[in-house]
């Protein structure tokens, strides 16, 4: 079974966010998420999804060039 790398990355990011949020609930000094880190995570996820979409389109174009 092949898993899409974007799904794996997103699942990992969500797990890390849940861990940080759980840490904040226990002790505010442990694993506190700042607004900057949340913004950086959002930008990275959006960039990864945009790149995946772009490369998927390019690969489809290249596959059409291969003779059957």
Q: Quick one: average pLDDT of 60-65?
A: 86
**Cα 17 to Cα 44: distance, rounded to the nearest angstrom:** 14
Provide the pLDDT for residue 43: 95
**Cα 42 to Cα 39: distance, rounded to the nearest angstrom:** 5
**Cα 6 to Cα 48: distance, rounded to the nearest angstrom:** 7
> Domain-by-domain residue ranges, the chain?
5-65
**Cα 37 to Cα 20: distance, rounded to the nearest angstrom:** 11
Task: Give the total residue count for the chain.
Answer: 68
**Cα 10 to Cα 6: distance, rounded to the nearest angstrom:** 6
Provide the pLDDT for residue 20: 79
**pTM, to two decimals:** 0.46
């Amino acid at each position: 079974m092949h898993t899409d790398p974007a799904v794996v990355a997103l699942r990992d990011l969500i797990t890390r966010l849940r861990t940080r949020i759980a840490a904040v609930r226990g002790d505010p000094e442990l694993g506190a998420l700042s607004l900057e880190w949340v913004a950086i995570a959002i930008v990275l996820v959006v960039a990864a999804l945009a790149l995946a979409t772009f490369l998927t389109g390019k690969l489809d174009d290249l596959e059409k060039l291969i003779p059957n």
